[in-house]
């Protein structure tokens, strides 16, 4: 039997948000290589006897380097296994799925991409913040917070500050001061609304709302850390109006996260 790789988006955290196709692939897999932000509940759907391989990464510490992950994906598939690479969110949104697909192509390994719901859309949705809105936001951008201190990327802030209505920043808490300062210096109003959503879509989700000039103090007080999504723009004002999950659902749920 020929091996095959499935790059599966596990969704943003809530295990119910994986796609039907992604779940079916997981149930049939011989080998599952999974990330740190994948909800452990999803692994319960793996078939009996499936090999589970942890590939988790923490900030500044990689349990398994990307080159090693690539090697194992190809190695298991070459042995005739159905391999699921289970990735938080979507494989192609800051998930390095493109690199893994390239590695499969390089070695002649068949593969499929199973998209997932990315946290940049799901976390704000669960906080009552639409990334687009007919009167408040007609454009949005996804960026990674890891580039905040990268001199080569500094020119992007002027474009982001002036050309995009809503900015969604992945894993940006540790660079919060740099992000807010850069946006203000490049023309964003200091009163621009900003929200940080910690453990979005999970039962211990917390949202902190402020403005570009007040959010740093609020985050220090709240103790918010990564993993968090940062949403910047006027759509954040809707959080108070349509905060359906934290107001209506969370009080009924036990606190359990991935």
> 30, 87, 90, 171: which one is catalytic?
171
> 57, 75, 78, 218: which one is catalytic?
57
Backbone angles phi, psi at 73, to 5 degrees: -55, -50
In angstroms, rounded to a whole number, what is the distance separating the alpha carbons of residues 25 and 32?
A: 10
171 is catalytic: yes
Backbone angles phi, psi at 198, to 5 degrees: -95, 135
Going by C-beta distance under 8 Å and a sequence separation of 6 or more, which residues neighbour residue 213?
180, 184, 190, 191
Measured from the Cβ of residue 102, the count of other Cβ atoms closer than 10 Å reads 11
230 is catalytic: no
> Are the C-beta atoms of residues 138 and 162 closer than 8 Å to each other?
no
> Are the C-beta atoms of residues 36 and 141 closer than 8 Å to each other?
no
In angstroms, rounded to a whole number, what is the distance separating the alpha carbons of residues 68 and 141?
A: 31
Instruction: Tell me, rounded to whole angstroms, the distance of Cα 216 from its chain centroid.
Output: 22
35 is catalytic: yes
Q: In sequence order, what DSSP letters do the residues of 90-101 get, joined into one string?
A: -TTSSS-HHHHH
Residue with tokens 């969110």: 89
Pairing of strands 111-114, 4-9: parallel
* CA end-to-end span of the chain: 34
> 4, 14, 30, 35: which one is catalytic?
35
In angstroms, rounded to a whole number, what is the distance separating the alpha carbons of residues 103 and 78?
A: 12
Residues with a known catalytic role: 35, 57, 171
């Amino acid at each position: 039997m020929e091996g095959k790789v499935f790059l599966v988006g596990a969704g943003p955290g809530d295990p119910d948000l994986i796609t039907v196709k992604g779940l079916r692939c997981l149930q049939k897999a011989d080998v599952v290589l999974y990330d740190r932000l994948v909800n452990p509940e999803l692994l319960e759907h793996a078939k009996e006897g499936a090999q589970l391989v942890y590939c988790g990464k923490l900030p500044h510490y990689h349990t398994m380097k990307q080159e090693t992950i690539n090697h194992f994906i190809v190695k298991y598939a070459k042995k005739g296994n159905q391999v699921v690479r289970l990735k938080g969110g979507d494989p192609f949104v800051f998930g390095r799925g493109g690199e893994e697909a390239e590695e499969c192509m390089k070695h002649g390994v068949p593969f499929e991409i199973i998209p997932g719901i990315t946290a940049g859309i799901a976390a704000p949705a669960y906080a009552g913040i639409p990334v687009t809105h007919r009167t408040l936001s007609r454009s949005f951008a996804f960026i990674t917070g890891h580039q905040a201190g990268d001199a080569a990327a500094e020119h992007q802030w002027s474009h982001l500050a002036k050309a995009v209505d809503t900015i969604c920043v992945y894993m940006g808490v540790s660079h919060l001061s740099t992000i807010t300062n850069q946006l203000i210096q490049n023309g964003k109003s200091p009163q621009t609304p900003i929200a940080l959503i910690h453990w979005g879509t999970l039962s211990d989700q917390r949202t902190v709302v402020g403005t570009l000039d007040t959010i740093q103090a609020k985050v220090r007080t709240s103790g918010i850390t990564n993993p968090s999504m940062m949403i910047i723009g006027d759509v954040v004002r809707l959080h108070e109006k349509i905060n359906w999950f934290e107001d209506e659902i969370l009080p009924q749920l036990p606190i359990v996260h991935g």
